[in-house]
Structure 1
Amino acid sequence: MKITIIGTGGVGGYFGAKLAKAGHEVTFVARGQHLQAIREKGLLVKSIAGDIHVEQVLATDQITSIERADLVITAVKAWQIKEIREDIQQIIHSESMVLPLQNGVLAAKELSEVIPAENVLGGLCRIISKIESPGVINHFGVEPEIVFGELNKQHNARLDILSALFSEAGIKSKASRDIEADVWKKFISICVSALLAVTKTTYGEMCELKETYQMMTELLQEIYVVSQKAGVNIKPDFIEKTIGFIKSFPYDSTSSLTRDVWAGKPSEIDYQNGTVVRLAEQYGVDVPVNRFIYNCVLPMELKARNRSLKTI
């Protein structure tokens, strides 16, 4: 299968390397020194599950230079989907699958505004990883997994094809019967990332301190209420399970959004807690913790994007 990985960071680099190692024709889209290092030395994944080195790598910084991709996995930041969707449209064919692994709940919808909806799947991944240095990915937490499904909640042959593809590559995966609910479940849990950013804590530190632990619990409960207003099928015990999952993270681990905010880089805050705030307003729900966290990060986000604070 001809596979395109758009965004060769912690997510795209890891899963793309597994697929390439399994013998598929994988083209990686990357930029700058990272792209140069991949072209010169290949792609190295340092992983708690076993290192991977793909020596001969197809890599480019131009999506439109790729010919007829059968599977496109988008692993860029959530806010970059709108920047790449027209280019993706030019490299797919009628049977192509476009699988977004973005954080948030808007990626499939935003892709479908330009790309034929029948080509777009819903998807998410679980992994804690990052670019360690140019050409090197470090996977340091959570058993990697990809969850995918049809937006209309139907099961068909192409989901079986993807299941087999990931299985052969040694990637844990699940074909979801309700990808909307699964995407929302991850969305709820990742919105804790901004709390880490504001409190300057790791997951372990946040869970250790009574005050930040309480904020985390309230933040999650608020988003659950919004999900119910939106008609998403999530059971009431999900928050308790999510807290247990977060407690299992390595003590010193953080998230990509947290690290981006700390580094003064543009982040996914608008696609995480910002989305919660906007949906809460739409459904008439009060989300004081999420609103506080979003408003705290917003000035830093505007500075990172070189926008005037006067626009607030």
Structure 2
Amino acid sequence: MRILVVGAGAVGGYFGGRLAAAGRDVAFLVRKARAAQLRDAGLVIRSPRGDVTLRDVKTVDAASIDGPYDLVLLSCKAYSLDDAIESFAPAVGPGTLILPLLNGMRHLDVLTEKFGAAHVLGGQCIIVATLNERKDIVHMNEVASMTFGALEGGIDERVQAIAAELSNRGFDVYPDENVRQQMWEKWVFLATLAASTSLCRAAVGDILSAPDGKRLIEGIFAECGEIAKQNGHPIGEGLVSRAAATFFVPGSPLTASMLRDIMNGAPIEADHVIGDLIARGGPQQHDDATLSLLRVAYTHLKAYEARQAKTPA
């Protein structure tokens, strides 16, 4: 199976690097600067699951794609989706499947409109990783998993074939019969964490120590969960329990990657993670007389983006 990994950042680099280390036929679609860095230093993974240094990493750009790939693993940031699509479009042939690992749901609408639903799978990943100053991929704990499935539900032959190709490669693989539900539940979890920590510019433990901090997180989680329910994906008790064990731990240093991006003056996925969730919500998200907590958080994020747009590069 020919696999094209779009990007070689923390997510694409980790999963693609593990596949390449296991002998899979993997190429990375990257910009010239990243290609040069990979050529000089290799692709380096630092992880509790085992360190890897790959030499002779196969890289391509849009102009050098030499025909269709069997699987496109899409791991870009949401704000880079249009550019990514333009770059990897030459790799999509009649039998190509696109497995996106982006957060939220908007990207599914964009991808299916561009390539057709038959070419797009639902997917998500769970990993805490970043690039250090040397552009090594630093995996911060042992959790690294990928969940995927057919958008229409069920586990068909396509999903089974991909699961066989990806399994036992240094991360956990979960084919899922109802991947949209899994994606919605992750979205609720992530949006709660991103909205809460970005709005307060603080870690979970610091928010909990503030007056009404616990109520703030509870309120945002409830709003996100209600939107999921309105869209036919009520959250399960498993997510409720996981949220309680994550969001309400005194002293927790947990923050969302969105907050870390804000603190670094980097672009953020405000529209994809928070704005699109609001757009899919019911009357309480659109009633001009009521400003929900989620809308307050979104206003905060958009103000940050407006300020960054005026900041000289």
Instruction: Give how far 1:257 is off.
Output: 1.5
Q: Matches of 2:211 and 2:8 in 1, distance apart?
A: 37
Partner of 1:285: 284
> Contact between 2:47 and 2:140, CA under 8 Å: does it hold in 1?
yes
SS at match of 2:298: helix
Conserved? CA contact 2:10–2:137, under 8 Å:
yes
Q: Give the aligned partner of residue 216 of structure 2.
A: 215
Contact 2:98 2:120 in 1 (8 A): yes
Alignment partner, residue 85 of structure 1: 85
Query: Offset at 1:216?
Result: 1.5
Aligned position for 1:110: 110
- Between the aligned partners of 1:127 and 1:206, the Cα distance in structure 2 is 23
Q: Aligned-pair distance for 1:2?
A: 1.4
- Once the two structures are superposed, the pairs formed by residues 113-152 of structure 1 within 5 Å of their partners are 113-141=113-141, 143-152=143-152
Q: By how many angstroms is 1:247 displaced?
A: 6.0
Give the match for residue 310 of structure 1: none
Q: Distance in 1 between matches of 2:59 and 2:272?
A: 28
Counterpart contact for 2:214–2:248, Cα < 8 Å: no
State the alpha-carbon separation in 1 of the partners of residues 237 and 211 from structure 2. 23
The question of 1:295 aligning with 2:294 is answered: no
User: Partner of 1:66 in structure 2?
Assistant: 65
Q: Does the 8 A contact of 1:100 with 1:121 survive in 2? A: yes
Show the counterpart of 1:267: 268
Partner of 1:228: 229
Q: Distance in 2 between matches of 1:255 and 1:177?
A: 28
Structure 1 residue 32: Cα displacement: 5.6
CA distance in 1, matches of 2:247, 2:17: 27
3-state DSSP of counterpart to 2:303: helix
**Compared with structure 1, are the counterparts of its residues 17 and 26 closer, same or farther at alpha carbon in structure 2 (3 Å cutoff)?**
same
Structure 1 122/44 Cα, relative in aligned 2: closer, same or farther at 3 Å?
A: same
1:117 and 1:159 map into 2 onto residues whose CA distance is 14
RMSD over aligned Cα atoms:
2.4
Give the share of equivalent positions with the same residue, in percent. Answer: 24
CA distance in structure 2 between the partners assigned to 1:141 and 1:202 by the alignment: 18
Taking structure 1 as the reference length, the TM-score comes to: 0.89
Aligned length: 304
Any gaps of 5 or more consecutive residues in structure 2? 286-290
Amino acid aligned to 1:58: K
Counterparts of 1:135-214 in structure 2 under 5 Å?
135-141=135-141, 143-191=143-191, 192-207=193-208, 209=210, 211-214=212-215
Deviations 1:59-108, CA, capped at 9 Å, x for gaps: 24x23422321111111111222222243332122111100000111122
The Cα of 1:251 is off from its aligned counterpart by: 4.2
TM-score in terms of structure 2 length:
0.89
- Unmatched 5+ stretches in structure 1: 308-312
> SS where residue 272 of structure 1 aligns?
helix
> Does the 8 A contact of 2:154 with 2:176 survive in 1?
no
Deviation at 1:128, TM superposition (A): 0.8
Distance 1:41 1:297, change over 3 A: same
CA contact (8 A) 1:38 1:135 kept: no
CA distance in 1, matches of 2:209, 2:25: 45
Tell me the distance in 1 between the aligned counterparts of 2:196 and 2:241: 18
Report the Cα distance in structure 1 between the residues aligned to 2:234 and 2:118, rounded to whole angstroms.
Answer: 23
One-letter amino acid matched to 2:65: I
1:254 paired residue number: 255
